[in-house]
Chain A
């Protein structure tokens, strides 16, 4: 199974907004609202930031939001802060009852 498609890198200045896309197929992202986003700073385990496309776990700032249209999901981070610098991964449940991750996007805060 190939990975979901994410841009390798995005960047933004403090206070700006950035959006990371995650493109799959009709067998995963397009068919299920089971898209999650994870944040992984260097040398640490991933942290759940968004689940079921647009829901935030408790403790995740409301600067993080998720959405989906067709086969593409998106993570938007508004009011960028230096602490947001990390790798971000999307994931989606698939019609094979398995999980696909995206290839990951490195967010740089300029």
Chain B
């Protein structure tokens, strides 16, 4: 059974930093592109970033480019999101999501999602 378990969400002040983690199990982690998607309270979904199965390619939404860094450790079946220079508008539930396609970078369709970890940016 595929499981994605996010952690690391806390309350942080504007300008602060935070690292989110996602522990994956139930599939061959290093065969799939992984994503972070966020959802502000009461709002819609926003794609944040992706990293290829081998960690060699990364893409970011314009809203986080230059502030967030996605990474993965295939030896630990783990995905990460380093969040710097946090803003109040980054407040959201952050989901880790698995790409549907085997070793694919250009479809961005998600067949499994975690339950999310809540990041609150507030003074």
**Residue of A40, A98, A103, A104 touching B47 (CB-CB under 8 A):** A98
Indicate if the CB atoms of A1 and B62 lie closer than 8 Å.
yes
Is A64 interfacial (CB-CB < 8 Å)?
no
A/B pair count, beta carbons within 8 Å: 63
Q: Which of B105, B107, B111 contacts A57 (CB 8 A)?
A: B111
Given contacts A45-B113, A46-B113, are A101 and B107 in contact (CB under 8 A)? no
A3–B44 contact, CB under 8 A?
yes
Chain A interface, >50% SS class:
strand
Nearest neighbor of B44 in chain A, beta-carbon distance: A104
Task: Tell me which of A38, A89, A98, A99 has the highest count of chain B C-beta atoms within 10 A of its own C-beta.
Answer: A99
**Cβ contact within 8 Å between A101 and B100:** no
A91 to B110, CA, bound (A): 10
By a CB distance below 8 angstroms, the chain A residues around B107 are 34, 52, 93
Q: Does A48 contact B (CB under 8 A)?
A: yes
Within the assembled complex, what's the spacing in Å between the Cα atoms of A46 and B114?
A: 9
- Whether a CB of chain B sits under 8 angstroms from the CB of A69 is no
Q: Say whether A45 contacts B108, CB under 8 Å.
A: no
Question: Are B44 and A45 in touch, CB under 8 angstroms?
Answer: no
| B: number of interface residues (CB 8 Å) | 24
**B116 → A minimal CB distance (Å):** 7
CB contacts (< 8 Å) of A57 on chain B: these are 111
- The CA of A51 and the CA of B101, in the complex, are separated in Å by 11
* Contact of A34 with B108 in the complex, beta carbons under 8 Å: yes
In chain A, residues 87-105, which have Cβ atoms closer than 8 Å to a Cβ of chain B? Answer: 89, 91, 93, 97-104
* B45 interface neighbour in A48, A52, A93, A104, Cβ under 8 Å: A104
Distance of A33 Cα from B44 Cα, bound (Å): 22
Chain A interface residues toward B at CB < 8 A: 1, 3, 34, 36, 38, 40, 45-48, 51-52, 57, 89, 91, 93, 97-104
Residues of B within 8 A of A (CB): 35, 44-47, 50, 59-63, 95, 100, 105-111, 113-116
